[in-house]
């Protein structure tokens, strides 16, 4: 991959927030604390890692491409579990943080700059492709999903905020703010049926779905108490609301 032309530089939609926002050294430096800081952030990270290990078991020896790797959290976790991992991202700034984190962790992860819409990877050359918190931000999520399916021999793992969830309220608010000229990440929410259909069009079938929270993650972080999160979410799950309103959704599909 390292000898290929830079596919990010060829794109003509670099004005899109998914490129501009993360091409900022300050955003990259503060991303881990913002996303994974505090007890709820750590819980998010541990939950994410557990789902990945379950989806790709047995992990040891797997060749995995982590698309939209960001600061490398998923890539490093998989490498620690014994996978051979390449992490790609459109943001050189995020990759710089990821490389530093991998070095500090003492794990051999290769990081490359690449665009999720046009991966510089051959067909079926990795066992699995993983892309977390990416489809919600991309210019064209179906193209990105098709690329993940193209390069994966076995499985693809993605996650996204669900259309049928409280995340839809936040997404709508952000889209309105964006329309009014505010500089916000106006991410999309997605229907599980749409994502499953896109997988099917690529010859993949959904084999696993996991949902994380009923209440918004922002609310849990505002409270900041893991006991509250476990208690409330446990009660909502027993009521059957996680299945109906849970988000984000992690979807695993197999060729």
The count of domains in the chain is 1
Give the per-residue pLDDT at 20: 81
Give the per-residue pLDDT at 218: 85
Using 50 as the pLDDT threshold, list the residues of the chain that sit under it.
Answer: 2-5, 10
- 78, part of any domain: yes
Q: How far apart are CA 13 and CA 245, in angstroms?
A: 33
pLDDT (tens digit, 9 = 90+) per residue, 237-249?
999 999 999 999 9
Q: How far apart are CA 103 and CA 91, in angstroms?
A: 19
Q: How far apart are CA 148 and CA 136, in angstroms?
A: 15
- 2, part of any domain: no
pLDDT (tens digit, 9 = 90+) per residue, 174-217?
667 667 676 666 688 999 999 999 999 999 999 999 999 999 88
Give the per-residue pLDDT at 34: 81
Longest distance between any two alpha carbons in the chain, whole Å: 53
- 201, part of any domain: yes
Give the per-residue pLDDT at 11: 54
- 246, part of any domain: yes
Give the per-residue pLDDT at 17: 75
Give the per-residue pLDDT at 37: 87
Dihedral angle over CA of 167, 172, 176, 182, nearest 10: 20
CATH of the domain at 163: 3.40.50.150
| C-alpha angle 55-56-58 in degrees, rounded to nearest 5 | 125
- 13, part of any domain: yes
Contacts of 104 (CB under 8 A, 6+ apart): none
Give the per-residue pLDDT at 1: 53
Q: Range of 146's domain?
A: 8-254
Give the per-residue pLDDT at 183: 64
pTM exceeds 0.85: yes
- 1, part of any domain: no
Give the per-residue pLDDT at 16: 79
Torsion-angle region of 25 (φ positive above 0: left; ψ -120 to 50: alpha; else: beta) = alpha
Give the per-residue pLDDT at 14: 64
- 3, part of any domain: no
């Amino acid at each position: 991959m390292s000898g290929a032309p830079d596919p990010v530089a060829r794109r003509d939609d670099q004005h899109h927030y998914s490129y501009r926002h993360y091409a900022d050294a300050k955003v990259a430096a503060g991303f881990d604390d913002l996303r994974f800081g505090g007890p709820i952030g750590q819980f998010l990270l541990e939950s994410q890692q557990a789902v990945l290990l379950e989806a790709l078991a047995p992990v040891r020896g797997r060749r995995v491409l982590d698309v939209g790797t960001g600061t490398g959290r998923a890539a490093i976790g998989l490498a620690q579990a014994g996978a051979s991992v390449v992490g790609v991202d459109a943001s050189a700034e995020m990759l710089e943080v990821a490389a530093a984190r991998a070095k500090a962790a003492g794990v051999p992860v290769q990081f490359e700059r690449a665009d999720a819409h046009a991966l510089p990877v051959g067909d079926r050359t990795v066992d699995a492709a993983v892309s977390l918190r990416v489809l919600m931000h991309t210019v064209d999520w179906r193209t990105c999903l098709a690329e993940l399916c193209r390069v994966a021999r076995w499985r693809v793992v993605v996650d996204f905020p669900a259309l049928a969830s409280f995340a839809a309220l936040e997404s709508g608010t952000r889209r309105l703010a964006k329309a009014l000229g505010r500089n916000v990440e106006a991410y999309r929410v997605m229907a599980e049926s749409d994502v499953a259909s896109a997988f099917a069009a690529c010859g993949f079938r959904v084999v696993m779905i996991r949902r994380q929270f009923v209440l918004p993650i922002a609310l849990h972080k505002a409270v900041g108490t893991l006991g509250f999160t476990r208690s409330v979410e446990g009660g909502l799950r027993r009521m059957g609301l996680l299945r109906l309103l849970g988000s984000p959704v992690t979807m695993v599909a197999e060729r």
